[in-house]
Structure 1
Amino acid sequence: MNFFKLKEHNTTVGTELSAGFTTFLTMMYIVPVNGFILADAGLPMDAVVTATALITILATLFSGLWSNTPIAMSVGMGLNAYFSYGLVLGMKLPWETALGIVFLSGLLFVILSLTNFRVWIMTSIPMSLRRAISAGIGSFIAFIGLKQMGMISANEATLVSLGDFSNPNVLLGVLGLILSFLFYAYRLKGAFILSISITSIVAWTFGLGELPTAVVSAPASIEPIFFKLDIMSAISLSLLPVIITFLITDMFDTLGTLTGVGTRAKLFQENNKDDKSLQKTLEADAIATTAGSMIGVSTTTAFIESASGVEEGGRTGLTAVFTAMFFVATLFMLPLFKSIPANAIYPVLVVVGVLMFTELGKINFEDSDLATSAGAFLIVILMPLTFSITNGIAAGFLVYTIIKIGKKEFESLNLGILVITFISALAFIL
């Protein structure tokens, strides 16, 4: 175990094992949840469940061995919703083309992770707009969750209105939402899995779902989605803003996660020039996204749930290796996952959305200038209203830059902002 330098990190095999199991419990929900979300885009759920488990195992194992950090990886929440509801259902793109977009964004991330682009882009974009992007994605996926649960519905007069709360399935979703909030508030390990389990049992008891015919089975084949990505269709000027959106969002998501987890675990210390763990973790993330698109899933990213393992004492890549090993069990749980009612799953989207939305509270609007406030507002409000992360980011950066130029505050603009603004303009022009 000297490979993981356990003594240097003041940890033991037992501690890393416990930390790995804790991380597994807190992020296990991604396998059935991602299956439901990508199935809405037309991908066969059986294959997606297997592919999600596989990419989680491979990406987390690679991350642990390559970067020696306790960072687990899987299909990112938010971008998987954008993949299904924004690109496939919203823009009417074939899911094969959407996978091609994921591949290209991952390939760009691989190239850029080997350069100083990470530092350049992070220093170019104001922190307030970065936080607004996270909050906007949170509002977007929460909106999707509420819509899928039936808590809000379409209305010709007001666009949206309150759903039918006399519908038992809607009430089931409400129960799942309350349980998810309560369990997470009490910081229970596996809060989401616990809420999904209880909500499913209630559904089965009252005939709102079919009981599983089996608990375990052989893994489903991923052949229907394996290497089905259409890269050539994704290479289009009109889709460039979407590719950039996937790239930037994945980068922000990963860096935000690594910053939060790293602070607690005393990882990624910028003042240590010999510490290459951040660079290697970013490389692992980028490679995993590229590989994931080939297997048949949307963008892979570092999971904030890794923090639960860090709280248990996990400090090295051995934690990630153990997490990957535990995820092998999910390959054989397809019958159980398929029997879970949809409204036991979608409340998780709402809670994750709320957690991402809290980033908005870190923006000091009292001290912010109009350009920052207007940009942040449009990013957050337009993502759910236009059903597009791209539109929200594009509108926010365009307004920010226009106001800065109008007020002749050129010192607030830099090449990075101008490049993103140009790409944002393309999003509307094209």
Structure 2
Amino acid sequence: MNLFHLKENSTTVKTEFTAGFTTFLTMMYIVPVNGFILADAGLPMDAVVTATALITILATLFSGLWANTPIAMSVGMGLNAYFSYGLVLGMKIPWQTALGIVFLSGLLFILLSFTNFRVWIMTSIPMNLRRAISAGIGTFIAFIGLKQMGMIKAHDVTLVTLGDFSDSHVLLGVVGLLLCFIFYAYKLKGAFVFSIAITSIIAWIFKISPVPHEFLSVPASISPIFLKLDILSAISLSLLPVIITFLITDMFDTLGTLTGIGARANMFQNGKEEDKSLQRTLEADAIATSAGSLLGVSTTTAFIESASGVEEGGRTGLTAVFTAMFFITTLFMLPIFKAIPANAIYPVLVVVGVLMFTELGKINFEEVDLATSAAAFLIVVLMPLTYSITNGIAAGFLIFTIIKLTKREFSDLNIGILTITLISLLVFILQG
């Protein structure tokens, strides 16, 4: 165990084992949830479940061994929803092309991980706009969750209205949502897993969904989605903004996650060794994204649920290795995952969306200027209304830059902001 420097990090194998199991318990939900989300885009759920489990195992294991940090990785919430509902269903892009977009964004991330670009982009974009992007993605996936549960539905006059709450499936979603909120409020480890399990049992008892006839099986083949990405179709000027969106969002997500976890575990500080760990974790994240697209899943990223393992004392890559080992069990759980009713899954999207939306509260709107307020508003509102993370970011950066130029506040603009603004302008030109 010298590889992980346990003694130097004041931890033990037992502590790392407990931390790894805790992380597994808190993020196990991603396997069935991602299966449901990508299945909506037309990918076969059986293959997606296996691919999600595989990329989680491989990426987390690689992160632990390469970076020696307790960071677990899997398919990112938010971008998987954008993949299915924004690109495939919204923009009518074939899922094979969407996988090509994920691959290219990951490839760019790999190349940029070996440069100072990550520092440049993070210092170029104001913190308040980064917070607005996180909040906007939160509203987007929460909106999707509510729609998929039937709690809201389309309306010819008002566009959106309340769903039919006399429907047993909708009521099941309400129960699942309440359980999600209550368990998370009590900081229960594995809150999402327990809410999904209890909601499923309720559905089986009241015959809202069929009871599973078996609980374990051999892993499903990933051949229907393995290496099915279409990279050539993704290399298009019209899709460049989408590739950049995946790149920037993944980068923000990862760096935000690592910053939060690092603050709790005293990692990723200014020392040379910690900076190397941060660099290697970013490299692992980037490589995992491209590898995941080859397996047939959307963007892979560092999971904030890794913080639960850190709270249990996990300090090294051994925590991640144990987490990866526990995820091997999910390869054999397909019958259970398929028996889970959809409205036991989609409440998770709403709660995750709420958690991401809280980033908006960190913006002091009494002190920020109109450019920031307008940009934040458009980012948060347009993402769910247009079913597009790209449109929200583009509109936000355009209004921010236009107001700053109009007021001649040139010092608040830099090459990073201007570059993203030009790409944002391209978004609307190409759509027009």
Aligned to 1:242: 242
Aligned to 1:103: 103
Deviations 1:99-136 (A, max 9, x none): 00000000000000000000000000000000000000
SS at match of 2:364: coil
1:78 Cα offset (Å): 0.2
Aligned to 2:140: 140
1:360-375 mapped onto 2 (5 Å cutoff): 360-375=360-375
AA in 1 matched with 2:426:
L
SS at match of 1:14: helix
AA in 1 matched with 2:174:
V
1:217-236 mapped onto 2 (5 Å cutoff): 217-236=217-236
1:213 Cα offset (Å): 1.2
Deviations 1:125-167 (A, max 9, x none): 0000000000000000000000000000000100000110010
Distance 1:207 1:324 in 2: 35
Distance 1:218 1:321 in 2: 23
Aligned to 2:59: 59
Q: Does the CA contact (< 8 Å) of 2:268 and 2:274 recur in 1?
A: no
Distance 1:185 1:350 in 2: 14
Aligned length: 430
Aligned to 1:337: 337
1:245 Cα offset (Å): 0.2
Deviations 1:6-58 (A, max 9, x none): 00100000000000000000000000000000000000000000000000000
Distance 1:371 1:225 in 2: 44
Aligned to 1:353: 353
Distance 1:386 1:203 in 2: 33
Distance 2:347 2:93 in 1: 26
1:275 Cα offset (Å): 3.5
1:272 Cα offset (Å): 3.9
1:193-342 mapped onto 2 (5 Å cutoff): 193-272=193-272, 275-342=275-342
AA in 2 matched with 1:280:
R
Distance 2:117 2:144 in 1: 32
AA in 2 matched with 1:426:
L
SS at match of 2:74: strand
Deviations 1:215-248 (A, max 9, x none): 1000000000000000000000000000000000
Distance 1:377 1:149 in 2: 26
1:77 Cα offset (Å): 0.2
Corresponding position: 1:419 with 2:423: no
Aligned to 2:71: 71
Aligned to 1:184: 184
Distance 2:262 2:112 in 1: 21
Distance 1:202 1:16 in 2: 35
Q: Does the CA contact (< 8 Å) of 2:78 and 2:138 recur in 1?
A: yes
Corresponding position: 1:46 with 2:70: no
Corresponding position: 1:389 with 2:369: no
TM-align CA RMSD:
0.6
Gaps of 5+ in 1: none
Q: Does the CA contact (< 8 Å) of 2:97 and 2:230 recur in 1?
A: yes
Name the stretch that deviates more: 287-296 or 274-283: 274-283
Aligned to 1:17: 17
Distance 1:114 1:147 in 2: 40
SS at match of 1:348: helix
Corresponding position: 1:117 with 2:117: yes
AA in 2 matched with 1:282:
L
Q: Does the CA contact (< 8 Å) of 2:15 and 2:313 recur in 1?
A: yes
Deviations 1:402-421 (A, max 9, x none): 00000000000000000000
Distance 1:268 1:202 in 2: 44
AA in 1 matched with 2:205:
T
Structure 1 segments, 4+ long, off by >6 Å, are none
Distance 1:123 1:93 in 2: 33
AA in 1 matched with 2:356:
M
Q: Does the CA contact (< 8 Å) of 2:63 and 2:320 recur in 1?
A: yes
SS at match of 1:276: helix
Q: Percent identity?
A: 81
Distance 1:254 1:274 in 2: 16
Q: Does the CA contact (< 8 Å) of 2:73 and 2:301 recur in 1?
A: yes
Cα gap change, 1:407/1:196 in structure 2, threshold over 3 Å: closer, same or farther? same
1:273 Cα offset (Å): 6.2
AA in 1 matched with 2:22:
T
SS at match of 2:284: helix
Aligned to 2:34: 34
Distance 2:271 2:380 in 1: 34
1:271 Cα offset (Å): 4.2
TM-score w.r.t. structure 2 length?
0.99
SS at match of 2:91: coil
Q: Does the CA contact (< 8 Å) of 2:267 and 2:274 recur in 1?
A: no
1:194 Cα offset (Å): 0.2
AA in 2 matched with 1:30:
I
AA in 2 matched with 1:329:
T
1:270 Cα offset (Å): 2.0
1:389 Cα offset (Å): 0.2
